[in-house]
């Protein structure tokens, strides 16, 4: 897409100057809203970066857009970059963020159907668990089983794609005993289906990345623009931590159509975001996930260091300045 | 079998032979409303008695509340308008293309052998799975959405018009051949009016298909639209908003369908069928 | 059955009083028509094209529920109609068209016989579109004749037939009428046909019965009757 | 306009008046194959020249390889069979229900006012959005899938049969009324054969709908099936497997459609239309 | 135009040689038929129902591409056909049916005049289904007459008309024939009509021309001709 700039080796330093009118195509709806609300869009404009926003997020959609070369970067969790690699689309992660208190602010909890008792992960033995092989929820289930010391044969995995609220419905109608549901949906689930419950997984599922087409990172002009964007994105996340109400209003209410109360709930469950000082921990976790999936789903071994572009690591940390998180939280 | 019926409507006696009617008889006035009202009644009754749990299907009154909320707080009108705009554009292109292709393939065996197969295959294949292709060709913007909807609504128009055209009584083609009429006039005077009942049936499907197509295309990079609204609501488990979307679909679909049928009754005034 | 127990007064098989029918835009087609047909009587109906002969037949057949007008009609239970268009069901083979709705076990055999009588033996399995115009008309005639109605309404059943075939059909119709004694109302354009077949000829004009003359071999000669009827139809001398 | 054409096929001269044909003329033998072969040719050419990138649409030869892999390693045959089983069952119920409803609603205005509205509304609403309801009512097993497919394929059967029935020439109903036929016989002898062309068109849509319905229902608790295979492949982004699925859909859809049309030609031998 | 430059030999407008036609299952319908019609000549064709009159007309009109058979046919360029069924397009109002395909600017006016001539003035905007059988036939006749063809093929165009209307239509047809001098082949079942209108009467039987007699006022009398033709049709004496 667009007139390609000069080729930039992946080892070369990121250029500092953005050629005027460089356009990057980004699918990052939450940050889009935050950037607008926080005034950070001015910073982008001042740097000469033109962002063409796409309301695209999630694995399948972003991979489709990448393949058609209609998108440069998209915000996703950790799984999509693995699948992109396995299916032959070369991407690089240019941004990593975490949740400051990940275990108490998980993305997913394990929903438990009404009338089923699951108090701990060990109780999963013999249960019917919703499983969707290609989605983050699927990977989570595998990791949960691994942590519980169970194998796939100890439970019944029910192949079920998570679209919309299909897992909530499946739980409510007792089609499955256990299913990973979004933490934000737990309250709705419990209200809808009295007797339904949910337990924490105790597993970190807070990986959050911005991944880009390798060819876009190799485009000198786009790389320069992305460097700016990564910095702005870090600031945007910090702004979001500092202005939960502004974030709730700009994104959850105005673009996602939630009511004010629901939006507040979502912000509360999401928890504060952290910019890690280094990506080391994140990459370790990513490698674990890659290994688990490779083993469980008969895929090639993958070296996740080939999936990241660590030149952006310091850019991100610098932008966060003193607010970077370190240690176990990172 | 025959009974005598006295109709004392007027002072003058009117005793007719009344044969048992085998056709459907007269249209019931306001029958248009019966179906939807019935549905609404069942839904209300089910919700009120608790037979339909609100988790499965939000109660009508709650849907009204949600509707109001969406209207005032979330620009429901804007969503509706941008969906309608997309659907109408796609439908327009689909109708034009489908109609032209149907006439070409209907009137020429060569055209048919080239056009018909690909269209049949296209329609056998899930649209959702073709989206990646369309994205590659038309991008992720409005263009892709309109092309997709056009291709969705092209199919019923094409098939019904083609079928209707091929179903025209061969004697009318003979007539046309003997009066020295050209191809163009043949199409205008015989093919198009003769295929019109088929085309109109196709329209009924095309209209609903174009609306349903929104659900698919508005998952991709849309910032407004009913399909987008439903997709979002699904993500956040907002059953009531989903049902608002479904009701809007139902209302639009039903009205559009009824409108096409009404138009059909008007323009097919030359027919004397069981419908009358 | 249609005769009163004492046998003194014959109740007519068909009784029409003050019949009015009009199609919205036009004026009236039938304007106060009265008509009686006795059981077993054979009445021929002649009249100009567009005077309302078919409209009258449809009224007698009970097929004009939705047409404006009023009046009184009485007809027997078992009516059979030969329509002006032959109205064969295109999706049924000829024999199936003929025996349509017959429940008797020997229906097929009777249908075959009827087809034979109208000269269509061997065409039982043809589709309607495979028949010539006259053959279709005969198949439609066979369909009516196989039914033995109390009232036969025939709308130009011989219009598309050549002279010889027409004469054969006349004979057939007469034979059947003698056997089952239905009341018959036959629309025809052929004055000679009307005289040859009917007991009585009725001329329809301007929506009423303009003339109603018995075909009485003892009375005025057939040639006189012919001249009279043609006069009533408005045909000038040199063309008769 | 008229030209003289000499056909020296036989020794005996045959000079006919040949009028310019306005209808489509004779069927081209083997035309059935032209469409698919053309499509395959374009696809192959595009892939070979690199115009179609393999990331967007796998090349035909790679699809063959993927097909082989799926066949041997992933029980493709089993997937196909369990999909066909589901589709056939759902289709069967859908046809039966749709046909009966169409006749009831076609022949009685009261029936119509009760049946027609809900069906029109049902078809205006995305099936995907109704699945939660069906799951609640029928569970998440095979039953729900078959009911969903039945409801999907019911719609075109209902609408086309209803439309075909209502399009029957009113004169045939008149005829039936004068020969003292009962309701049942009327339906058997006039309504069903008269609505048959419509029904057959409906069948063409019902067959493909039932196959497409698989994509939706097999997202739910299926362990086998083409729809399941495609869903999985979509999540993984395995273009080649998706295309294998699409090709299977295309082949089945095209063959089923052609079969229905062939049957149509046989059972509609009584018609003389532009088709002949 | 159809005459050779020297004016010595008139090339026929219609020339048919050894025409064979058969429908798969049946035997032959036309079995070696020869026929010439001179320009401006009016030929009547009579024959039993199902002998192949319509089949012959369809062959002359060039509508039988797909029927088995052989033979040679020559016809003029501008042919107009009145079909046995009136074949009005149901979706066009009567006037539009009549002027269908006419490109002249005064088409509508001519159509109106033609409708007036066949007695359908005021019915221009009716739908075909709103016309009576005879009215439909007349509309179809108007459609052919408005075209001034070199060859008019008419398949029982007066079959559904009453005596008076029929006479009017005869007059109209004769007037038009005098004005434009088309060759005419008229199928009729009415021997009197054939004699009244035609220059020559042809009897079709068993797929060949069985008799071909000129209607010559100077030669044998019309009554003799009538008897002869009825004989040829197989009508026995007492029925003529
Ligand atoms: N459905 C209709 N709508 C309007 N006018 C009609 C309709 N049907 C018949 N008419 C008119 O009513 C008049 C009587 O029609 P009808 O068919 O009874 O004539 P008819 O005597 O049978 O004539 P024909 O001998 O030509 O068959 C005609 O002028 C005709 O045009
Ligand atoms: N499409 C067809 N298929 C089979 N047989 C046919 C077909 N069309 C006509 N015939 C047969 O061919 C014969 C001649 O038909 P044609 O229509 O030429 O008769 P016709 O002389 O015009 O008779 P009529 O006076 O009854 O109109 C008839 O026996 C008819 O049944
Ligand atoms: Mg009539
Ligand atoms: Mg004929």
CATH number of C208's domain: 3.40.50.300
Nearest to A185 by CA among A271, A237, A110: A110
Question: Which protein residue has the closest C-alpha to ligand 1 atom 2?
Answer: E130
Mutate to test the pocket of ligand 1, among E123, E128, E129, E132 (most ligand atoms within 8 A of CB): E132
pLDDT of D8: 46
Q: How many domains does chain E have?
A: 2
Residues E167 and E227 in one domain: yes
Left if phi > 0, otherwise alpha if psi is -120 to 50, otherwise beta: which for C87?
left
Candidates E183, E216, E197, E159; CA nearest to E44 is E197
Average pLDDT over residues E79-104: 92
DSSP A253: I
Write phi, then psi, for C201 (nearest 5 degrees): -120, 135
Low-confidence ranges of chain D (pLDDT < 70): 1-11
Question: In this structure, what token pair is assigned to residue A272?
Answer: 């504060």
- List of residues 6+ apart from D132 with CB closer than 8 A: A165, A166, A169, B56
Say if CB A27 and CB A57 are below 8 A apart.
Answer: yes
Q: Nearest by CB to C163, which of E23, E119, E230?
A: E230
Shared-domain flag, residues C157 and C235: yes
Pocket test for ligand 2, best of E21, E25, E55 (most atoms within 8 A of CB): E55
Give the tens place of pLDDT for each residue, A157-194: 887 778 777 788 888 888 889 999 988 888 888 888 88
C93 part of a folded domain: yes
In chain E, the residue whose alpha carbon lies closest to the alpha carbon of C138 is E49
Which pLDDT score is estimated for E5? 46
Q: How many residues does chain D have?
A: 276
Q: Which of A66-70, A226-230, C48-52, D205-209 has the lowest mean pLDDT?
A: A66-70
Among C148, C168, C191, which residue terminates a domain? Answer: C148
Asked if E139 and E128 count as a contact pair (C-beta separation under 8 A), the reply is yes
Tell me B16's DSSP state.
E
Res B6 pLDDT > 70:
no
Q: Residue E2's pLDDT is what?
A: 41
Q: Which stretch of A195-209, B7-21, C92-106, E202-216 has the lowest confidence by average pLDDT?
A: B7-21
Interior CA angle at A277 toward A274 and A282, to 5°?
75
Are residues C115 and C229 located together in one domain of the fold?
Answer: no
pLDDT at D92: 97
**Same domain? E66 vs E158:** yes
Q: Is C24 helix (H, G, I), strand (E, B) or coil?
A: coil
CA distance E71 to chain D (A): 5
For testing contact with chain D, the best of A130, A166, A172, A211 (most D CBs within 10 A)? A166
Q: How far is B238 from chain D (nearest CA, A)?
A: 12
- Residue C41 forms part of a structural domain: yes
**CB-CB under 8 Å, D230 with B274:** no
Hey, where are the domains in chain D? 71-267
Residues 6+ apart with CB under 8 A from B221: A27, A54, A55, A56, A61, A65, B140, B141
Q: Give, for C52, the enclosing helix (H) or strand (E).
A: none
**Residue C171 and residue C228 share a domain:** yes
More confident residue, D220 or E42: E42
User: Do E199 and E141 belong to one domain?
Assistant: no
Using pLDDT thresholds of 50, 70 and 90, give the confidence band for residue C238: low
**Which pLDDT does position E238 carry in this prediction?**
64
What's the pLDDT band for E240 if we cut at 50, 70, 90?
low
Residue closest via CA to ligand 2's atom 25 equals E49
- 3-state SS, chain E, equals CCECCCCCCECCCEEEEEEEEECCCCCEEEEEEEEEECCCCEEEEEECCCCCHHHHHHHHHCCCCCCECCEEEECCCCEEEECCCCCCCCCCCHHHHHCCCCCCCCHHHHHHHHHHHCCCCCCCCCCHHHCCHHHHHHHHHHHHHCCCCCEEEEECCCCCCCHHHHHHHHHHHHHHHHHHCCEEEEECCCHHHHHHHCCEEEEEECCEEEEEEECCCCCCCHHHHHHHHHHHHCCCHHHC
Q: Which of A294, A313, A312, A282 is nearest to A83 (CA)?
A: A294
C24 to chain E: closest CA residue: E130
pLDDT at A49 over 50: yes
C131 CA from centroid of ligand 4 (Å): 9
Nearest Cα residue to A60 out of A99, A27, A25: A27
Which residues of chain D make contact with A173, given a CB cutoff of 8 A? Answer: 135-136, 139-140
The CB density around residue E60, as the number of other CB atoms within 10 Å, is: 23
- Is C7 part of a structural domain of the chain? no
Tell me how far apart the alpha carbons of residues B36 and B255 are, in angstroms, rounded to a whole number: 11
Q: Measured between beta carbons, which residues in chain B are less than 8 angstroms from residue D252? A: 124
CA proximity to B213, closest of B54, B86, B113: B86
| The predicted structure's pLDDT at residue B92 | 97
Helix axes E163-180, C222-233, angle to 10 degrees: 70
- The answer to whether position E83 is within a domain reads no
What is the residue-averaged pLDDT of chain C?
Answer: 88
Distance from residue E130's CA to the centre of ligand 3 (Å): 11
CB pairs under 8 A between B and E: 50
CA of C34 to the centre of ligand 1 (A): 19
What is the pLDDT at residue C137?
A: 93
Pair B231, B218: CB distance under 8 Å: yes
Q: Is E17 exposed, middle or buried (0-12, 13-18, 19+ CB in 10 A)?
A: middle
Distance between CA E100 and CA D22 in Å, rounded? Answer: 15
Q: Which residues of D touch E60 (CB under 8 A)?
A: 17
Please tell me whether residue A7 adopts helix, strand or coil conformation.
Answer: strand
pLDDT average, residue stretch B233-253:
86
d(CA A12, CA C27): 96
pLDDT confidence of residue C240: 61
Which residues are registered as beta bridge partners of E153? E81, E185
Nearest CA to ligand 1 atom 8: E130
Among all bound ligands, the one having the nearest atom to the CA of E165 is 1
- My answer on whether C233 and C157 are in the same domain is yes
Tell me how far apart the alpha carbons of residues C43 and C37 are, in angstroms, rounded to a whole number: 7
* CATH number, span B71-267: 1.10.3720.10
Chain D residues in contact with C90 (beta carbon < 8 A): 270-271
E8 within domain boundaries: no
User: From D9, which residue of chain E is nearest by alpha-carbon distance?
Assistant: E70
Of C148, C173, C197, which residue sits at a domain end?
A: C148
Q: Which tokens in the block code for residue A293?
A: 């999936």
User: Which chains does chain A touch, 3 or more C-beta pairs < 8 A?
Assistant: B, D
Report if residue E156 sits inside a domain: yes
The alpha carbons of chain E give a radius of gyration, in whole angstroms, of 18
Q: D-side interface with E, Cβ within 8 Å?
A: 1-2, 4, 10, 12-19, 21, 26
Average pLDDT of the segment spanning E7-14:
71
Residues C153 and C137 both lie in one domain:
no
Nearest-angstrom CA–CA distance, A234 and A323: 10
Q: Do C171 and C63 belong together in one domain? A: yes
Res C102 pLDDT > 50: yes
CA E88, E91, E96, E102 torsion: positive or negative? Answer: negative
Pocket of ligand 1 from Cβ distances under 6 Å: C 23, 26, 29, 47, 49-55, 84; E 130-135, 160
Of B153, B154, B168, the closest CA to residue B101 belongs to B154
Distance of alpha carbon E236 from alpha carbon D190, whole angstroms: 42
Q: Which atom of ligand 2 is nearest to E25's Cα?
A: 4
Q: Which chains touch E (3 or more CB pairs under 8 A)?
A: B, C, D
Residue of C154, C113, C118, C151 whose CA lies nearest to C136: C118
CB atoms within 10 A of CB C72: 17
Is pLDDT of B230 > 90? no
Residue D51 Cα, gap to closest chain A Cα (Å): 12
- Amino acid C3: pLDDT: 41
Which residue, E122, E148, E174, sits at the end of a domain?
E148
CA distance C118 to A128: 76
C188 occurs within a structural domain:
yes
Q: Kindly state the percentage of chain A with pLDDT values over 70.
A: 98
Give the pLDDT confidence score for residue E187 in this predicted structure.
95
**Residue E2 covered by a domain:** no
pLDDT at site B235: 77
Asked if E156's CB is within 8 angstroms of C49's CB, the reply is no
**pLDDT, mean of residues B229-240:** 81
Q: What is the ipTM, given to two decimal places?
A: 0.90
Is E37 or B222 the better-scoring residue by pLDDT?
Answer: E37
E52 → chain C, closest CA residue? C132
Same domain for C213 and C185, yes or no, is yes
Task: Please report all neighbours of D, defined by 3+ CB atom pairs within 8 A.
Answer: A, B, C, E
pLDDT tens digits along A64-100: 888 888 899 999 988 889 988 988 889 999 999 988 8
* Predicted confidence band of residue C9 (pLDDT cuts 50, 70, 90): low
Q: D16 and E60: CB-CB below 8 Å? A: no
Point out the residue among C61, C83, C127 whose CB comes nearest to the CB of D270.
C127
Q: Are residues E105 and E218 in the same domain?
A: no
Range of the domain at C110: 89-148
The average pLDDT across B63-89 equals 90
If asked whether residues C159 and C232 sit together in one domain, one would say: yes
């Amino acid at each position: 897409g667009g007139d390609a700039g000069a080729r930039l080796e992946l080892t070369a330093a990121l250029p500092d100057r953005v050629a005027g009118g460089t356009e990057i195509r980004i699918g990052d709806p939450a940050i889009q809203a935050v950037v607008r609300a926080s005034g950070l869009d001015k910073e982008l404009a001042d740097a000469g970066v033109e962002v063409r926003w796409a309301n695209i997020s999630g694995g399948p959609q972003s991979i489709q857009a990448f393949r058609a070369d209609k998108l440069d970067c998209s915000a996703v969790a950790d799984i999509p970059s693995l699948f992109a690699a396995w299916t032959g689309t070369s991407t690089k992660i240019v941004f990593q963020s975490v949740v400051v208190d990940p275990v108490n602010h998980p993305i997913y909890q394990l929903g438990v159907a009404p009338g089923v008792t699951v108090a701990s992960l060990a109780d999963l033995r013999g249960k019917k668990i919703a499983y969707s092989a290609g989605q983050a929820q699927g990977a989570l289930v595998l990791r949960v089983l691994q942590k519980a010391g169970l194998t796939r044969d100890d439970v019944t995995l029910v192949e079920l794609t998570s679209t919309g609220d299909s897992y909530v419905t499946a739980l409510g109608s007792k089609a499955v005993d256990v299913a990973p549901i979004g933490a934000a949906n737990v309250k709705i689930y419990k209200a809808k289906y009295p007797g339904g419950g949910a337990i924490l997984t105790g597993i970190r599922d807070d990986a959050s990345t911005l991944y880009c087409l390798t060819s876009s990172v190799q485009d000198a002009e786009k790389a320069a623009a992305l460097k700016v964007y990564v910095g702005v994105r870090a600031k945007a996340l910090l702004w979001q931590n500092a202005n939960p109400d502004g974030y709730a209003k700009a994104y959850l209410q105005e673009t996602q159509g939630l009511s004010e109360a629901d939006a507040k709930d979502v912000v509360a469950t999401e928890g504060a975001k952290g910019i890690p000082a280094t990506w080391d921990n994140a990459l370790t976790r990513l490698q674990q996930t890659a290994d688990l999936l490779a083993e469980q789903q008969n895929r090639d071994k993958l070296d996740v260091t080939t999936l990241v572009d660590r030149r952006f690591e310091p850019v991100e940390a610098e932008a966060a300045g003193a607010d970077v998180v370190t240690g176990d939280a990172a | 079998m025959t009974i005598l019926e006295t109709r004392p409507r007027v002072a003058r006696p009117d005793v007719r032979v009344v044969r048992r009617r085998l056709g459907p008889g007269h249209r019931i006035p306001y029958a248009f409303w019966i179906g939807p009202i019935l549905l609404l009644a069942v839904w209300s009754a089910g919700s009120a008695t608790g037979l339909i749990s609100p988790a499965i299907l939000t109660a009508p009154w709650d849907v009204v509340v949600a509707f109001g909320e969406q209207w005032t707080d979330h620009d429901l009108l804007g969503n509706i308008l941008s969906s309608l705009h997309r659907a109408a554009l796609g439908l327009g292109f689909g109708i034009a293309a489908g109609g032209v292709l149907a006439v070409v393939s209907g009137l020429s065996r060569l055209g048919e052998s080239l056009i018909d197969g690909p269209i049949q295959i296209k329609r056998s294949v899930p649209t959702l799975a073709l989206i990646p292709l369309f994205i590659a060709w038309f991008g992720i913007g409005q263009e892709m959405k309109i092309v997709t909807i056009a291709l969705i609504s092209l199919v019923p128009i094409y098939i019904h018009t083609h079928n209707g055209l091929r179903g025209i009584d061969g004697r009318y083609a003979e007539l046309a051949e003997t009066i020295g009429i050209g191809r163009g006039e043949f199409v205008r005077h015989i093919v198009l009016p003769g295929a019109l009942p088929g085309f109109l049936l196709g329209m009924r499907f095309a209209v609903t298909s174009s609306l349903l197509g929104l659900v698919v295309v508005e998952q991709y990079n849309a910032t407004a639209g009913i399909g987008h609204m439903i997709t979002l609501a699904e993500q956040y488990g907002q059953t009531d908003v989903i049902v608002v979307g479904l009701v809007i679909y139902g209302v639009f679909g039903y009205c559009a369908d009824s409108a096409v049928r009404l138009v059909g009754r008007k323009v097919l005034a030359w027919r004397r069928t069981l419908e009358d | 059955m249609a005769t009163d127990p004492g046998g003194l007064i014959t109740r007519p098989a068909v009784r029409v009083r003050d019949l009015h029918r009009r199609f919205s835009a036009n004026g009236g087609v039938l304007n106060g028509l009265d008509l009686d047909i006795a059981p077993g009587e054979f009445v021929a109906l002649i009249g100009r094209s567009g005077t309302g002969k078919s409209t009258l037949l449809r009224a007698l057949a009970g097929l004009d529920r939705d047409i404006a007008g009023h009046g009184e009609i009485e007809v027997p239970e078992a009516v059979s109609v030969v329509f002006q268009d032959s109205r064969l069901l295109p999706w049924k083979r000829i024999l199936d068209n003929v025996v349509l709705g017959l429940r008797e076990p020997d229906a097929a055999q009777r249908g075959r016989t009827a087809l034979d009588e109208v000269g269509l033996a061997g065409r039982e399995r043809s589709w309607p579109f495979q028949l010539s115009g006259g053959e279709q008309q005969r198949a439609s005639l066979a369909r009516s004749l196989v039914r033995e109605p109390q009232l036969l309404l025939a709308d130009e059943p011989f219009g598309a037939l050549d002279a010889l075939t027409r004469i054969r059909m006349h004979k057939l119709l007469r034979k059947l009428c003698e056997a089952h004694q239905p009341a018959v109302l036959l629309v025809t354009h052929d004055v000679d046909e009307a005289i040859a077949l009917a007991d009585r000829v009725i001329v329809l004009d301007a929506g009423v019965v303009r003339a109603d003359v018995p075909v009485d071999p003892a009375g005025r000669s057939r040639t006189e009757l012919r001249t009279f009827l043609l006069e009533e139809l408005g045909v000038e001398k040199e063309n008769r």
